[in-house]
Amino acid sequence: MALPQALENYRKQYRKIKLFQDVASVLHWDSEVMMPEEGREYRSAQIAAVAELTHDWMTDKSFLNQIQSAKQSIGELPESERSLWNRELEVLMEEKEKADKLPSEFVSEFAKVTNLAHAEWAEAKKEKNFQSFAKRLEELVQLSKKQADYFGYTTEPYDALLDSYEKGAKASQIQTLFSDLKASLVPIVSTAPKFKNPFPEPISIEKQTKFCNRLPSLLGLTTKESRLDTSNHPFSTSLGKGDKRITTRYSETDPLSSIFGVLHETGHSLYESGLSAMPNWPTPITEFLSLGIHESQSRLWENQVGRSLPFWEFVYPILLSDFDLSDKELPFKELYQYINSTEKTKVRVEADQVTYNLHIILRFEIERDLINGKIQVKDLPEIWNTKMKESFGLTIENDAEGVLQDIHWSMGAFGYFPTYTLGNIFSSQFFKKFTEEFPDSHNKFSTKGDFSDLLGWLRKNIHSKGKIYDVDSLMKQATGEAADSKHLISYLNGKIKEVTK
């Protein structure tokens, strides 16, 4: 049966908007990976123009008329198809109503300022000088507060920004969750073992790149649909169907940094690839459900898989070959223990899986107070350094290893950080359920490097669902219970017992 014309018309306009949003993603990717330094200012204008254009299309009254006509046409469809169509238009209207609250000139300004801010942040980090970025960050904070006001909130401005990444989440709820989690993590951190770096010598970027380029395909993301590059801060992005981009960064003294960066970003891209395979892509329900769910996919491949014994039993000989090392120079047991070592460190992206969430809690507390007006931008280095001393017992030596270490605030992404810990909670629960259903999976991992059962499970239970359900419903359908941090704590305790045998 052919679709009613009103539904065809609505989807045609939606896909036009999506096409240009993907064009903006191309511009962003290029600006982080390939663009010469002198192109930044004009590129910012390009990105701003595309952002304003897609926003205008989304908020135009004619598009609302198309959506309303489409909704009226659902009654012409067989009853079995109506529920999904109703959900599709419901999701779209939520997105549109949010866009309607933002003036076009604000959208353009926000896009331009954040693109300029990235280059200034990167330079400030390089120079280890927060003050050179402070003025721009103050501008971003004010824009974000204005954005919160446009969106509206009932309790605090931060809630309005958090909702953009994790729909329905409230800062007060996150605070309670994080406080309970922190109470469980602190004793684990105090007893978890620390192991020294076993690499006998620096590993060249060329050798690391050779090994890292193997990883996406090993997990299921082929070279025909992805590519790996280098950037200041690892990230992944979807430029459309069949085009997923991954970046990492390299440290010659600790090659695990690039390896786990690739595993993490591949997890993101596998999710996007699965979404792209949904029927009728692109539609409003073939998008990622939440940043917490997105992060669950990256953290699962990075930690539950990437730090597992079966994974390293398979890749260890490949790594030795690519790095030109013998097993005597890099013994397996020492490498595996180091991979699962626990140590309080200054930098989030290099943190182990036990202390990582403490880094997130620190950032959540700071940015919540910043957006809610309780602290000022000028005081951030001192506040950051004090909290690092309190939570980790570490002294920050410079701004690059302190308040400037993350890219997120230069993107205006206030409210993003909590989703990392939500992702850790979700990923532990997903992986536990998978291993219950596929108890022999570890043998396929270790002997064949075959991760197809896991990818298939994620495709079936997470990727193929898109935005059809909300997070609570998805968690219950996929795992049989609501999200619960007990699975993360159980996983971490189990890992520590494993490496200290």
The answer to whether the annotation marks 498 as part of a ligand binding site is no
The answer to whether the annotation marks 109 as part of a ligand binding site is no
Nearest to 255 by CA among 214, 306, 302, 209: 209
313-322: long-range contacts (C-beta < 8 A, 24 or more apart)?
A: 313/445, 313/446, 314/445, 314/446, 314/447, 314/448, 314/449, 315/218, 315/449, 318/211, 318/214, 319/211, 322/207, 322/210, 322/211, 322/214
Q: Establish whether 265 is a catalytic residue.
A: yes
The answer to whether the annotation marks 313 as part of a ligand binding site is no
Asked if 458 and 324 touch (Cβ cutoff 8 Å), the reply is no
Contacts of 333 (CB under 8 A, 6+ apart): none
- How far apart (Å, rounded) are the C-alpha atoms in residues 435 and 433? 6
Nearest to 13 by CA among 23, 2, 24, 5: 5
- How far apart (Å, rounded) are the C-alpha atoms in residues 247 and 230? 5
- How far apart (Å, rounded) are the C-alpha atoms in residues 168 and 115? 28
- Taking the mean position of all CA atoms in its chain, how far away is CA 58? 25
Catalytic residue among 52, 88, 265, 302: 265
Which phi and psi (to 5°) does residue 451 adopt?
-110, 20
The radius of gyration computed from the CA coordinates of the chain, to the nearest angstrom, equals 23
Cβ neighbours around 115 below 10 Å, total: 24
Residues comprising the binding site for Zn(2+)? Answer: 264, 268, 295
| Residues assigned a catalytic role | 265
Residues comprising the binding site? Answer: 264, 268, 295
